Structure formats: structure tokens, C-alpha cells
Amino acid sequence: MSQLQQLSVPHPLRVFLLGAGQRPDVLAEAERLRPIIEQHAEIVRTDFTGSEDLSTIEADLAIVLGGDGSILRAARQMGHRQVPVVAVNLGKLGFLANMSPDELPNILREFAAGRMRIIEHLMFECVVLRGGEACCRQLGLNEVVVHAGTPFSLINVDLYVDSEPVTTYSCDGLIISTPVGSTAHCLSAGGPILRKNLQAFVILPLSPHTLTMRPVVDSAERVYEMVVERPNAGTSVVVDGRALCQLQPGDRVRVARAAARFKLVTGPGHNYYRTLREKLGWGGRLKLNDK
């Protein structure tokens, strides 16, 4: 499947309006933007709680107000029926949420006419196997982290790729990240930045006991498993910043490509390296001619 799509909508545009309702600026901006959106589309569902299951509701587009955390929540709500997302940045950093509210009317017109670019991004499914049976599972976009947890002593994490043993990490935790997640927790822990539409995972130990344990990038076609034979009392699995479950001895945490793909609408004038320059504050002596 192509990573870049253009869609046309044969009927009046149907949209979700989503955001983090605990933030007053999001609610105020939603109220301001609602009549503007309704000039171009029908709002079929509004949710600022993050509690609704959106996978059963027909829509063409999701408008998400806020930062990257709001987008991760929207992706989780849509589950295996992902619709394209227009990410309006009301946060501070926003690698995914990189459109301004002023761009929204033109984006809606162009999307309805089939003239907007939609870039698909890798998603994964995390399954925790206990005694050979799945005890919990979660679709994710950013990363899976096995955290050592309390009492905050090192844990040994065995890594398997396609059922083959790779190594044992003695560390504070182990991250398996998508390219989208490479600019999140993975980046702050010293990992590499991957172009967001690459089909790959980053494997990154947190504070490894052996300094030769470096980040590894491998194909998204492979299946990754993490096993902690002797977890701490608080050792847990975290998916996209949310605790999935606490680990018991011998649990297998399996991470594999999901059939669903996150779909991000990209506006004119937005490009990968410009986003990195602006969001990460990269300097240098480049003579830029951005238009």
C-alpha cells in the first residue's frame, strides 16, 4: 500500500471534532471554530473526554485540537477504523499537530475536493501473553515501554525477534518505538530520529548497565517480544504513555505491525525537515528560502 494517498469525498464531508477537554483553551477554540467547520462539513460526533468509541461511527475526517497527546488519544479511540486526521496545534511542541487554526477552512475545502495529501504511518499492536494466552492488548502509534518500576532496581529484559533470541538488556526499561514515536520518549532517551513514514521500529534500552547496548533500527515486518523473568513489583507495560498492565514473571510482551495505519493530512508548506528545524530549534547557517 502506498504511504501517500489522495482521497476524494463523494458526499458532504463528515467529521469528528476532538480534543482535550480539560484544557480551557481547547474548549474555547472549539467553540470559535465550530461555525467555521460547519460551513464546510457536518460534525457527526464531538468528544472532548476521550471516552467514546469512534470505531463504530462513519466519518471522513477527524479534526483534533490540541497537541500530540490529543492525537494519540484520538488514534486510540478510532481503533482499527482510522480516518484521516487534521491536527490543529494548540500545544507547545506538536510534531504531529502542526497546522494552525487559521489554515482549517482551506484544508477542509481542499480535502473535500480530494486535493490534500494524506500520509500513512505505521501503527502496532501490543499483546501481553500470560501462560500462552493474551491477557491484554492495545493498538498504538508511538511506542511500547517495559518500565522497571518500583523498587526502581534494574531489570533483565530478554529480547526476541521473530522468535529468535537477540540479547538480554540489564536496564531501567526497554522501548520499542515507531518512527512517529522516535521524536517522543525515544528521542529524549537518546534514540535516533526516523522519518515518520518509514516502515521500521527502534529498539532502545533505558539507562543500560552495559554502555555498548546501543539503539537498533529494524524492519516493521518482524515480530518483537520482550520477556522479564524476574520483574520488580511495579514493572509494567506502557503503550503511548498509558499503563497497559503490570508484568508477572515470564509474561511475553509481543509487538507487531498492525493492519490499521494512522493517516495524517499534510497541508501545503509543511515538510519533514522544516518541522524538525522549528520544533527542535536546530540552528546552523542555512540560507533558507521557505515559502
Of the listed ranges 112-121, 143-152, 263-272, the one predicted with least confidence: 263-272
Of the listed ranges 51-65, 96-110, 125-139, 170-184, the one predicted with least confidence: 96-110
State the average pLDDT for the chain. Answer: 91
Sequence-distant (6+) residues with CB within 8 A of 195 are: 179, 272
Please give the average per-residue pLDDT across 186-214, as a whole number.
93
Grid coordinates given for 239: 503503550
Q: What is the pLDDT of residue 5?
A: 52
pLDDT tens digits for 44-101? 999 999 999 999 999 999 999 998 899 999 999 999 999 999 999 886 666 787 788 9
Sign of the four-CA dihedral 242, 245, 248, 250: negative
The DSSP letter of residue 55 is G
Angle at 137 between CA 132 and CA 140, to 5 degrees: 140
Percent of the chain with pLDDT over 70: 92
Q: What is the pLDDT of residue 2?
A: 36
SS3 39: coil
Taking the model in full, what pTM does it have? 0.90
Question: CB burial class (10 A; 0-12, 13-18, 19+) of residue 181?
Answer: buried
Contact status, residue 70 vs residue 25, Cβ threshold 8 Å: no
- In angstroms, the CA 183 to CA 192 distance is 8
Q: Does position 264 have pLDDT exceeding 90, yes or no?
A: yes
Higher pLDDT, 99 or 2: 99
Percent of the chain with pLDDT over 90: 75
Q: Does position 6 have pLDDT exceeding 60, yes or no?
A: no
For domain 123-259, give the CATH superfamily: Probable inorganic polyphosphate/atp-NAD kinase; domain 2 (2.60.200.30)
Q: How far is CA 169 from the centre of its chain?
A: 25
Q: Does position 37 have pLDDT exceeding 90, yes or no?
A: yes
Strands 85-89 and 61-66, bridge-based pairing: parallel
Of the listed ranges 94-98, 152-156, 211-215, 286-290, the one predicted with least confidence: 286-290
Please give the average per-residue pLDDT across 283-290, as a whole number.
62
Smallest CA-to-CA distance from 179 within 161, 192, 160 is with 192
The CATH architecture of the domain made up of 4-116+267-280 is 3-Layer(aba) Sandwich (3.40)
Q: Does position 1 have pLDDT exceeding 50, yes or no?
A: no
Instruction: List, in sequence order, every residue forming a beta bridge with 117; answer none if it has no partner.
Output: 6, 266
Where do the structural domains in the chain lie, given as residue ranges?
Answer: 4-116+267-280, 123-259
Query: Which residues form the catalytic set?
Result: 68
Q: What is the pLDDT of residue 91?
A: 66
Strands 61-66 and 14-19, bridge-based pairing: parallel
Q: What is the pLDDT of residue 239?
A: 98
Grid coordinates given for 138: 492495545
| Amino acid (1-letter code) at residue 214 | R
Q: Identify which of 1-10, 28-37, 95-104 has the greatest average pLDDT.
A: 28-37
SS3 158: strand
Q: Does position 233 have pLDDT exceeding 80, yes or no?
A: yes
Query: What is the biggest distance separating any 2 CA atoms in the chain, rounded to whole angstroms?
Result: 59
Q: CA neighbours within 13 Å on the CB side: how many for 51?
A: 4
CB atoms within 10 A of CB 99: 20
Contact status, residue 251 vs residue 230, Cβ threshold 8 Å: no
Please give the average per-residue pLDDT across 233-253, as a whole number.
97
- In angstroms, the CA 93 to CA 199 distance is 24
**Cis peptide before 179, with omega less than 30 degrees from 0?**
no
Q: How far is CA 104 from CA 41, 111, 153, 248, 284, in A?
A: 12, 10, 48, 47, 32
Q: Does position 104 have pLDDT exceeding 90, yes or no?
A: yes
